[in-house]
Amino acid sequence: MSTLPHPPRQLYYDGQVQPATSGKTFTTIDPSNATPLAEIHVASHSDIDSAIAAADRAFPSWSQTPPVARARILQKAAALLREKNDEIARIETLDSGKAYTETSTVDVFTGADTLEYYANLVGGGGLNGETTQLREDALVYTKKAPLGVCAGIGAWNYPIQIALWKSAPCLAAGNTMIYKPSEYTPLHAQTLAEVYREAGLPAGVFNVVYGAGDVGAYLTAHPTIAKVSFTGQVSTGMKVSGSAAGNMKYVTMELGGKSPLLILPDADLENAVDGAMMANFYSTGQVCTNGTRVFVPASWKVAFEKRLLTKMQYIRPGPLFDEATNMGPLSSAIHHEKVTSYIKHGIETDKATLLYGGLGKPQVPKDLEAGFWVRPTVFTDCTDSMRIVKEEIFGPVMSILYYETVEEAVRRANTTELGLAAGVFTKDLNQAHRIIDQLEAGITWINTWGESPAEMAVGGWKNSGLGVENGRKGIEAWVKNKSTLMDMSGAVVTVFAKL
Ligand code: NDP
């Protein structure tokens, strides 16, 4: 019997909670104070086989359910998520360490929006194919078919949102899913499974297994899995896509970034500083699309740094459910170690100028001192070759890079193997579009940063990923096409008709 504050999580498949047979468990931790929250049961290989078998059994009926009937269930699930917003946001905050002011206003709602978006899309004919009249007595029609049993593998930074960004188009298109959350933030998964069940989703359509990388690896390599949708680090994504490609599985890869934010000399200073701060400190910097390389005109140095330093005071770490708190801790001890080692490297090895923050923890109440807190940090006068400028830190660490000409800034912005996001701040919209065209990234913003609504197809270029999630394009990643040529002439054209 667990003595932890939250009930243990077993697995979830075939429409119900199922015991794990591995005999192994891990503990999920509240990152704000480093205390255990709940015990999670790890799936054994045979448990994963059972979950996949349940999803495989559910597939024929779910895939044959008319899209409009699937849509009704998913719309109901979206409504339930909104009703339960505060309860789910509370779990997300405890598990991920994100301030409740964020999770209660963004994480669940944006996930529910995506579910509603795809339900409406398929309910309104979004899975229709196309017909081509080839000639008077022949036509071609192309239909979209679901893929089968799909695997969704999530990262820890937007747990329920990632689960919904994957399961919404997957289920809407008629597939079934096995979802594995990150071991650092597993608590949302059963709640989501229960919401789906309450909405009327048939048993076996959405299933959950828990465990670390080895569970993910077994799941994604399983011969019954038709597609892998993965969100995580580039290095893991390369392993997973390599194994999936070898087995001809479909993949979507949403990976890391080191995105450039370009502030042009005509930009509004206030907006530029606000944009740069949102692009670096929202969610304690744990956002894949963060604009961590901030390119600023050299002539702006004094004014930009002065305004930024004033606004850095408005970052308020503190108790996660306090309305004033707008920054939480990092999500885990291991991630804290990683981010602080980058800050140390920036100071000691890269020798960047530390403008704000640095090593050590911010001031938080005594009962939170054991948590994985880090100080929001700004390095200035950075150069392109510094490690803190080249590698994804995934924490609240901004690097300011000064430039002389816009051409130079664009060239330097593209000097990276990553291509997730990019953006520009300027009052000249003609110039904004010209620059956006030159930036090598799949997700771009003009005079804003970070908003990623259900309608916007997002995905990385270069090493930052493969394919897109969300938007009309996003549904294409969950279907395969079948083209049929129908001849109505009454005769078969043949070259073998006579001697
Ligand atoms: P990881 O790559 O460490 O893990 C991602 C998921 O993959 C976890 O569930 C993990 O399990 C699992 N996993 C680990 N090894 C394997 C394997 N061999 N086969 C299958 N699955 C495996 O990423 P993080 O969780 O650290 O997430 C942070 C990263 O995610 C950052 O780089 C960030 O940029 C990126 N990200 C990208 C987004 C995008 O849309 N482009 C959005 C959000 C984050 P476990 O953790 O339990 O070991």
Summarize pLDDT for 335-380 with one digit per residue, the tens. 999 999 999 999 999 999 999 999 999 999 999 999 999 999 999 9
Which mutation among 107, 153, 161 tests ligand 1's pocket best, with the greatest number of atoms within 8 A of CB? 153
Q: What is the pLDDT of residue 1?
A: 63
State the helix-helix crossing angle for 213-221 and 45-64, rounded to 10 degrees. 50
As a whole number, mean pLDDT of residues 229-246 equals 95
**Integer Cα distance of 449 and 423 in angstroms:** 7
Query: How far, in Å, CA of 48 to CA of 439, rounded?
Result: 42
With bands split at pLDDT 50, 70 and 90, how would you rate the model's confidence at 2?
confident
Query: Residue 20 sits in which domain range?
Result: 11-256+464-484
Give domain status of residue 393, yes or no: yes
Residue 457 placed within a domain: no
Check whether residue 293 and residue 422 sit in a common domain: yes
What are the tens digits of pLDDT across the range 373-394?
999 999 999 999 999 999 999 9
Mean pLDDT of the 113-128 span:
98
CATH classification at residue 345: 3.40.309.10
Q: Point out the ligand 1 atom lying closest to the alpha carbon of residue 219.
A: 20
Tokens representing 344 are 């140390």
- Could you give the C-alpha distances from 231 to 54, 79, 157, 255, in angstroms and in order? 24, 25, 10, 6
CA of 421 from ligand 1 middle (Å) equals 18
Q: How far is the CA of 353 from the centre of ligand 1 (A)?
A: 31
**Complete DSSP assignment for 51-75:** HHHHHHHHHHHHHHS-HHHHHHHHH
For residues 319 and 433, state if they share a domain. Answer: yes
pLDDT at 193: 98
State in Å: Cα 199 to ligand 1 middle.
Answer: 29
Mean pLDDT within 53-76: 98
Ligand 1 binding residues, C-beta < 6 A = 153-158, 180, 182-184, 212-213, 216-217, 220, 231-233, 236, 239-240, 254-257, 288, 392, 394, 420, 460, 465
The mean of the pLDDT values for the chain is 98
What are the tens digits of pLDDT across the range 175-205?
999 999 999 999 999 999 999 999 999 999 9
Rounded Cα gap, residues 99 and 339, in angstroms: 19
87 is catalytic: no
At 444, the pLDDT band (50, 70, 90 cuts) reads very high
DSSP bridge pairs for 132: 140
The H or E element containing residue 250 is: strand 250-254
Which atom from ligand 1 is nearest to the alpha carbon of 464? 41
Task: Kindly state the tokens that stand for 250.
Answer: 């479909």
**What share of the chain has pLDDT > 70, as a percent?**
100
- Are 212 and 265 within one domain? no
Break the chain down into helix, strand, coil percent, rounded to 5: 40, 20, 35
pLDDT tens digits, residue range 454-497?
A: 999 999 999 999 999 999 999 999 999 999 999 999 999 999 99
Co-location of 242 and 327 in the same domain? no
Per the structure, how many domains does the chain have?
A: 2
| pLDDT > 80? residue 302 | yes
Of 102, 116, 254, 305, which is the active-site residue? 254
Q: Within this chain, do residues 418 and 385 fall inside the same structural domain, yes or no?
A: yes
CATH code at position 197: 3.40.605.10
- The per-residue pLDDT for range 305-325, each reduced to its tens digit, is 999 999 999 999 999 999 999
Residue with CA at minimum distance from ligand 1 atom 12: 213
Judged against a pLDDT cut of 90, whether residue 166 lies above it is answered with yes
Counting other chains too, the contacts that 239-243 makes at CB distance below 8 Å and 24 or more residues apart are 240/153, 240/216, 241/466, 243/217
- Which of residues 243 and 36 earns the better pLDDT score? 36
Indicate if 352 and 223 belong to the same structural domain. no
Q: Which atom of ligand 1 is nearest to the CA of 254?
A: 41
Q: Are 199 and 299 in the same domain?
A: no
Instruction: Say how many Å lie between the CA of residue 232 and the centre of ligand 1.
Output: 3
Ligand 1 center from residue 377 Cα (angstroms): 24
Q: Kindly tell me the burial class for residue 275, based on how many C-beta atoms sit within 10 Å of its own C-beta (0-12, 13-18, 19 or more).
A: buried
